[in-house]
Amino acid sequence: MKKQQDLDALKQSLATFNLIAGVDEVGRGPLVGDVVTAAVILDPEKPIFGLTDSKKLSEKKREEFAELIKQNALSWSIGRATPIEIDELNILQATMLAMQRAVEGLTIQPEYVLVDGNRLPKWQYTADAVIKGDALFPQISAASIIAKVARDHEMVALHEQYPQYGFASHKGYPTKAHLEALEQHGPLSCYRQSFKPVKAALMQWHGELQNEVN
């Protein structure tokens, strides 16, 4: 994490910019679905009070904030990388790609970009990475909320298609219940095949199919 004097200096330098985009991701750990990122440029004339790291908010509060952000931000955008891209690139590089897509999707060119975490995508924007930035900068907080709500909605929609996997409750993360469902029902096409539990389940299912053939 940046030292306090570094954070103070960053905040001071940001005072000279009006169009600051915050960027965050959700979904690096799950076994299924896209890694989802968001970029948000808040309107300094329409401050939204109470923004913080999405993980610290209840689902109801996240939903309320997401609507406020969409209504009041100067621009917001969602970027994503698919399970196929995650398997091809690895989760870190796929996350960087999704972040690029989120910023490129903004209708306004940001003057500065703040990214949650400790590394930046390779891009032309003036930017800074801030560990735990989603609790320190409202722009990143807003991005974390937008990304989290979007991905959670996708997991609920997937649950409606495949209720036996329990996606609405675990959101794709490798909980005990999820791993049991994966073992029992096998991986769907939206699973990340390079992730160890999915790879193991695929081998198990291919082995059982082979036994049936023989």
Q: How far is CA 183 from CA 83, 92, 133, 159, 165, in A?
A: 19, 26, 37, 17, 10
Do 187 and 153 fall into the same domain?
no
Do 142 and 53 fall into the same domain?
yes
Query: At residue 118, does pLDDT exceed 90?
Result: yes
pLDDT tier at 4 (50, 70, 90 boundaries)?
Answer: confident
65-94 pLDDT tens trace: 999 999 999 999 999 999 999 999 999 999
> What's the whole-number average pLDDT of the chain?
94
119-160 pLDDT tens trace: 999 999 999 999 999 999 999 999 999 999 999 999 999 999
Do 130 and 203 fall into the same domain?
no
Do 86 and 185 fall into the same domain?
no
pLDDT score of 21: 98
Tell me the residue range of the domain where 99 lies: 4-159
